[in-house]
Amino acid sequence: MLRLKKSERKINIAADLRISGEIRFDEPMAEHTTFKVGGPADVFAIPSDENDIRELLKFAKSKSIPCFVLGGGANILVADAGIRGVVIDMSRFNSITAAPLENGATVLSVGAGLPVSRAAAWAADHKLGGLEFIYSMPGSVAGAVWMNARCYNADISGILSHVDLISRTGNPSRYHPKPDDFAYKRSPFQDADSIMTGVGFSLRSADPRSLWMEMKDHESDRTAKGHFAAPCAGSVFKNNRVFGQPSGAIIDSLGLRGFSIGGAKVSDLHANIIINADNASAADVRAVSDHLAREVKNRLGFELEREILLVGEWEAL
Ligand SMILES: Cc1cc2nc3c(=O)[nH]c(=O)nc-3n(C[C@H](O)[C@H](O)[C@H](O)COP(=O)(O)OP(=O)(O)OC[C@H]3O[C@@H](n4cnc5c(N)ncnc54)[C@H](O)[C@@H]3O)c2cc1C
């Protein structure tokens, strides 16, 4: 991989890359992740439209540098050394439109970078039900689809109508879900390497008052579980049915609640959540998660599977 020197980077990029959105250099990723950790991204681009995305992909290809697509940063642990190459921040893809279908359902089409919680709120205000289960979960719509986000016994794939994509070579396409494409925390986009620009959900008519009641219940439940008490990325490990109990209960059974390294700590409220308790580094968070996985393996024989994604230049540590 080509690694540009800082000084030449800005000159080259300013000359070679023209987009209608925004370009920043050495952007601290800690400002774009819910863990509030992570070093600088070489090039941090905020495209305004699909042409911008094509330009960014073309630029990265011409310089042989990688591109990482950022949603809400709610499921990633970015290395302290940061991210080499281009980060594409999808936050300006935040449109919302609704189209009724003849069968009485409505397709809600939203920009990929829209916070999924805002999509749920908009739907409820417009008497549309289906997204209420995911209200108050951090992250973007596309991030939720990428991981097939799951909460309160529902997966986001259950209401998916379509996904608009741009391939790494710049070609647009529309994906329609097929049976078996999705599984627990699995989506076809994890292997596809394409960029989601928009997502459609199949929703039904519903009473806004009962939708909001359910949504507020979920939000209170998350608050009680400490989801918003300190910077974190939700569950660190996936749940595996073979273990017979949730990963949090397994970690708890080993007395690891409250375990800490540096500024990172296992939450006192939920053993499957690591929090940035006191100016943690990404290395601290990783060290705590590695310790939990090692302890569970050594003492119980289970291999925990990490749900949060390691992003950036980890090998530099
Ligand atoms: C307090 C808290 C509670 C949480 N609770 C839950 C929960 O109940 N259930 C659950 O499933 N998760 C939960 N999470 C984890 C997180 O909210 C979800 O995984 C969320 O879907 C991540 O979305 P994101 O936009 O932040 O994705 P990011 O973290 O930004 O990215 C995740 C992955 O998606 C890819 N991606 C993002 N956008 C695009 C795009 N436009 N095109 C292609 N790829 C893309 C990224 O490249 C990356 O590989 C929680 C997190 C927090 C902080």
Residue in 44, 146, 156, 309 to alter for ligand 1 test, most ligand atoms within 8 A of Cβ? 146
Asked if the model's pLDDT at residue 309 lies above 60, the reply is yes
Please, which residues bridge with residue 46 across strands?
Answer: 22
CB 237 within 8 A of CB 304: yes
Rounded to two decimals, what is the model's pTM? Answer: 0.95
Architecture of domain 96-224: 2-Layer Sandwich (3.30)
What band does 9 get if pLDDT is binned at 50, 70 and 90?
Answer: low
Asked if the model's pLDDT at residue 210 lies above 80, the reply is yes
Q: How does pLDDT run across 110-134, given as a tens digit for each residue?
A: 999 999 999 999 999 999 999 999 9
157 C-beta closer than 6 A to ligand 1: no
Q: What is the pLDDT of residue 7?
A: 56
Asked if the model's pLDDT at residue 10 lies above 80, the reply is no
CATH, domain 6-89, list 3.40.50.300, 1.10.1370.40, 3.10.110.10, 3.30.43.10:
3.30.43.10
User: From CA 197, how far away is CA 90, in angstroms rounded?
Assistant: 8
C-alpha angle 49/198/133, rounded to 5°?
140
Q: What is the pLDDT of residue 52?
A: 97
Is residue 22 within a helix (H) or strand (E), and if so which, with residue range? Answer: strand 22-28
Q: Where in the chain is the domain with CATH 3.30.43.10?
A: 6-89
Q: How does DSSP assign 222-245, residue by residue?
A: HHHTTTTTSS--SBSB---GGGSS
CB 285 within 8 A of CB 35: yes
Q: Strand runs (DSSP E) across 167-218, as ranges?
A: 172-175, 195-205
Q: Of 17 and 55, which is predicted with more confidence?
A: 55
Q: Where in the chain is the domain with CATH 3.90.78.10?
A: 241-316
Average pLDDT over residues 69-88: 97
Close Cβ partners of 248 (under 8 Å, ≥ 6 residues apart): 235, 270, 271, 272, 273
Q: Where in the chain is the domain with CATH 3.30.465.10?
A: 96-224
What band does 234 get if pLDDT is binned at 50, 70 and 90?
Answer: very high
Architecture of domain 241-316: Alpha-Beta Complex (3.90)
145 C-beta closer than 6 A to ligand 1: no
188 C-beta closer than 6 A to ligand 1: no
